[in-house]
Chain A
Amino acid sequence: KQEVTQIPAALSVPEGENLVLNCSFTDSAIYNLQWFRQDPGKGLTSLLLIQSSQREQTSGRLNASLDKSSGRSTLYIAASQPGDSATYLCAVIRYTGTASKLTFGTGTRLQVTL
């Protein structure tokens, strides 16, 4: 069974800092990996999708990397802002032959302070 862990569970940083969120998974037979953010009580907003053939994906201040062989992905956030405060979730995507399954990590709760 796929286990997805995110470290740290919570993080508080001052505005302007660069930070790294970690995601590790136990089964490397994944298809893709997707990063999301979730504001309290809200749905999930897609940030980045990394396909299994890629090692990195960038969108604005966000950069995500994927190393399937070691079962790790990182999300790098540059020049953090208070608006980045949210819970960040990684999800590994596995194709079963008839459907795809997203298995979510445990999440990192980020607070960016002024």
Chain B
Amino acid sequence: DTEVTQTPKHLVMGMTNKKSLKCEQHMGHRAMYWYKQKAKKPPELMFVYSYEKLSINESVPSRFSPECPNSSLLNLHLHALQPEDSALYLCASSQFLATEAFFGQGTRLTVV
């Protein structure tokens, strides 16, 4: 099973709302990632967690707050987003660092 599950699939939120994106994998992977993808552009790295610790933050604005409660779960908490934050948010995991990465189907986020 090489499945990474993301919920919700679609999310519409106002600029004053607080919402969370969820990502789950049961492959025993110890690295988990958040990527942001704008239309017709490649995915851009936001955060990397290694062994449940934040290893990379690509200078992401603080209105995005990642959390890794355990080795299977990765959350992305959203607060006071801007319309330009509308994008496809992708979660990925890999067994060890630098090995094959598996992606979820993404959450399509629209900020109104």
Contact of A44 among B31, B43, B45 (CB under 8 A): B43
B94 interface hit (Cβ, 8 Å):
yes
Contacts of A34 in B (CB 8 A): 100-101
Specify the main secondary structure of chain A where it touches its partner: strand
B90 interface hit (Cβ, 8 Å):
yes
Contact of B97 among A89, A99, A105 (CB under 8 A): A99
B56 interface hit (Cβ, 8 Å):
yes
B97 and chain A: residue at smallest CB distance: A100
Contact B99 A44 (CB under 8 A): no
Contact A43 B98 (CB under 8 A): no
A102 interface hit (Cβ, 8 Å):
yes
**A99-B56, A104-B42 known; A46 vs B50 contact (CB < 8 Å):** no
- Shortest distance from the beta carbon of B65 to any chain A beta carbon, whole Å: 18
B55 interface hit (Cβ, 8 Å):
yes
Contact A49 B99 (CB under 8 A): yes
Interface size on B, residues (CB 8 A): 28
Contact A101 B108 (CB under 8 A): no
Contact B45 A101 (CB under 8 A): yes
Specify the main secondary structure of chain B where it touches its partner: strand
A103 and chain B: residue at smallest CB distance: B45
Interface size on A, residues (CB 8 A): 27
Contacts of B44 in A (CB 8 A): 104
Interface segment among A11-19, A67-75, A76-84, A90-98: the answer is: A90-98
Contact B108 A41 (CB under 8 A): yes
Contact B100 A46 (CB under 8 A): yes
Within 8 A of A (CB), among B71-90: 88, 90
Contacts of A107 in B (CB 8 A): 42
Could you name 16 residue pairs across A and B whose Cβ atoms are closer than 8 Å? A32-B98, A34-B100, A42-B105, A43-B6, A43-B105, A45-B103, A49-B100, A89-B42, A89-B43, A95-B97, A95-B98, A98-B55, A99-B50, A99-B55, A100-B48, A105-B42
